[in-house]
Structure 1
Amino acid sequence: MLLQQQDMVQLHVKRGDESQFLFDTTVDVSLEILIQQVSAIYNGILKVDRICSEIQQLAEHGITLPPNMQGLTDDQIEDLKLRDEWQDKCVPSGGAEFNKDEIGRRNGHAPNGKMKEVLKKTVEEARSLVSKKQVMAKVSITMDMVKEALDQLRGAVMIVYPMGLPPHDPIRSEFENQEDLSGTQASLQVIPEEEAQLWWAAKEMQRGKKLQEYVGKNEKTKIVVKIQKRGQGAPAREPLMSEEEQKQMMMHYYKRQEELKKLEETDDDSHLQSEWSDRQALKRQFQGLTNIKWGPR
């Protein structure tokens, strides 16, 4: 027995002019809950992206050095008699292959080729699950999908580093929700739930109200909403015409100009009888006055 799919309101969530994800909800949802759900997914996708970036570095250069050793040259580390106690504790499965980190952030003892492939393949899968390309594919994102992406990444790291990562490694901090983003570019992207706002049609959707107070009671509604941090003012309004519609309009005008150019070259007046050249034809079509015949039948 097939279950009939329930009609849902679909939100196309953007930040600024950039699409983020699609989200399905209902007109009866309170804005308090909706803002919480949307901001959790938005911030969750950012977390997935941060972890993926770090795992790519983990695959190439191994675990992160202790903070007091990062950025130092080999000579400086030797002069200061510093030692990474986690190097012998966190050896990747199958052994390590040395690949020096030129910026001196990771210890250079990278996983072997097979384990590196496990990490990189998982990064691709996790990113595709919550990718912005899902908007074009018309796939809505849920918090379960974000959690699935995080679980995939966590599992891959456990396969390659079954003993775990050092407490100072940012990947471990992310998985334990202990990440410190202060002073980083990433911190400017995150929108804390309590500071999040949703805007639609140049109006802030106020907490304490329900979605239907803004969009009506039609569960098949599709709207573009913009997520924003409180205090940043109203986001720019959506253009009246989409990029695809603009392309279609330009193609139409280009085609018409080419046809007119050809007619001018042949000096042919027959086009004056064509429907497309009649400036009143479009008007009559909207008024329902086309294909009218006079006289007795």
Structure 2
Amino acid sequence: MVKLHVKQGETSLFLYETKCSVSVQELLKEIIELHNLRLKVDRLCDEVINMADHGVALPPHMQGLTDEQVEELKLVDEWGIRCQPSGGVRNNKDPVGRRNGQAPNEKMQDVLKRTAEESRQMVSKKLIDAGTCLTLPMVQTALDQLRGATMIVYPMGLPPHEPVDMELKGEEDLSGTQASKLVIALDQGALWFSGKQMDTKKELADYIGRNEKTKIICKLQKQGHGAPAREPIFTEDEQKKMMASAYKRQEELKKLESADDDSHLHSKWADNHGLQRSFQGLTDIGWKPK
């Protein structure tokens, strides 16, 4: 199997295994799908942690309002009353006013946070250091874990405007958010290899040959953004070693060029008349350099 190290700019995303015979179009589709699902897991983990801390989201027309404003307008969060966490409520007001402040108890909170952390680790970039390739089943398992933990803590379900519920149902609206800039549409992505954009009408083998044990670096980005930066000739560790070696050499040269460091002039090998004295037998008679 060919191993692809997928990057976006200088940022490593994940490792992916495929075959030389795969078409670039199919490969691009699979990589974009994995990339977008990883982003979904990351967003979902953040929202699950927020829900564990501050309860479910308020209806859009109540978000950002103070308690006085809610009371004055006589607004009622009916979904918050209906969607209560299992095991009781622990009041913890949301400082940004997005959630109703009715958080789960400590035990249920721990279920949500622990599951979110485990799910995040299942698709994290640490897999690259371990040499583990990311697959769709791995991402789906992370999503299923988050869905299961949510159902345990909120058996009555979640409000339809809750970001966690929308993410799990694939109904999230990312328009106008920073997250929307990271997501790549299937018809807007491009793969680059060796400084060239890969043609979707060709196979991967047209670029790397038929050796199934090949490992390459390819870059994913949106179309129309130009060619991505080339990979540096030296790795970060190699650059650090070279800089340390150059600094050490520079310090050694400074010591040699220092005008104050003339201790070598007192050595016998620095005496211009040493050979003459050795012939005259005067080498051991109170020698001093001139």
Normalised TM-score (structure 2) = 0.85
Equivalents in 2 of 1:259, 1:67: separation in Å?
Answer: 67
2:241 corresponding residue in structure 1: 248
SS of equivalent to 1:19: strand
Give the alignment partner of residue 70 of structure 1, picking from 55, 63, 81: 63
**Which protein is bigger by CA-based radius of gyration?**
2
1:289 corresponding residue in structure 2: none
Stretches of structure 2 that go unaligned for 5 or more consecutive residues are 266-290
Stretches of structure 1 that go unaligned for 5 or more consecutive residues are 1-7, 269-297
1:284 corresponding residue in structure 2: none
The residue identity in structure 1 corresponding to 2:154 is Y
Give the alignment partner of residue 167 of structure 2, picking from 170, 174, 178: 174
Query: Would you say 1:109 and 2:113 are equivalent positions?
Result: no
Give the alignment partner of residue 100 of structure 1, picking from 93, 97, 111: 93
Equivalents in 2 of 1:58, 1:146: separation in Å?
Answer: 21
Matched-pair identity in %: 57
Equivalents in 2 of 1:168, 1:210: separation in Å?
Answer: 43
The C-alpha deviation readout for 1:103-162, integer Å capped at 9, x for no partner, is 111000000000000001001100111001211222111111110110111111011001
Equivalents in 1 of 2:120, 2:45: separation in Å?
Answer: 7
2:131 corresponding residue in structure 1: 138
SS of equivalent to 1:10: strand
2:284 corresponding residue in structure 1: none
Question: For 1:224-243, what aligned pairs fall within 5 Å after superposition?
Answer: 224-243=217-236
Equivalents in 1 of 2:207, 2:167: separation in Å?
Answer: 36
Query: Would you say 1:149 and 2:142 are equivalent positions?
Result: yes
Equivalents in 1 of 2:209, 2:101: separation in Å?
Answer: 58
Query: Would you say 1:118 and 2:101 are equivalent positions?
Result: no
Give the alignment partner of residue 190 of structure 1, picking from 169, 183, 191: 183
Cα deviation for residue 64 of structure 1 reads 0.4
The residue identity in structure 2 corresponding to 1:186 is A
Question: For 1:11-22, what aligned pairs fall within 5 Å after superposition?
Answer: 11-22=4-15
Query: Would you say 1:51 and 2:54 are equivalent positions?
Result: no
SS of equivalent to 1:246: helix
Cα deviation for residue 255 of structure 1 reads 5.4
Q: How many residues align?
A: 262
Equivalents in 1 of 2:161, 2:185: separation in Å?
Answer: 24
2:54 corresponding residue in structure 1: 61
Equivalents in 2 of 1:256, 1:221: separation in Å?
Answer: 39
C-alpha contact 2:29 2:186 (8 A) present in aligned 1: yes
Equivalents in 2 of 1:139, 1:101: separation in Å?
Answer: 38
- CA RMSD of superposed structures (Å): 1.9
The C-alpha deviation readout for 1:81-123, integer Å capped at 9, x for no partner, is 1111112211101011000111111000000000000001001
2:271 corresponding residue in structure 1: none
SS of equivalent to 1:123: helix
Cα deviation for residue 257 of structure 1 reads 5.5
Equivalents in 2 of 1:255, 1:104: separation in Å?
Answer: 56
SS of equivalent to 1:226: strand
Query: Would you say 1:217 and 2:210 are equivalent positions?
Result: yes
List, as ranges, runs of 4+ consecutive aligned residues in structure 1 with deviation greater than 6 Å: 258-266
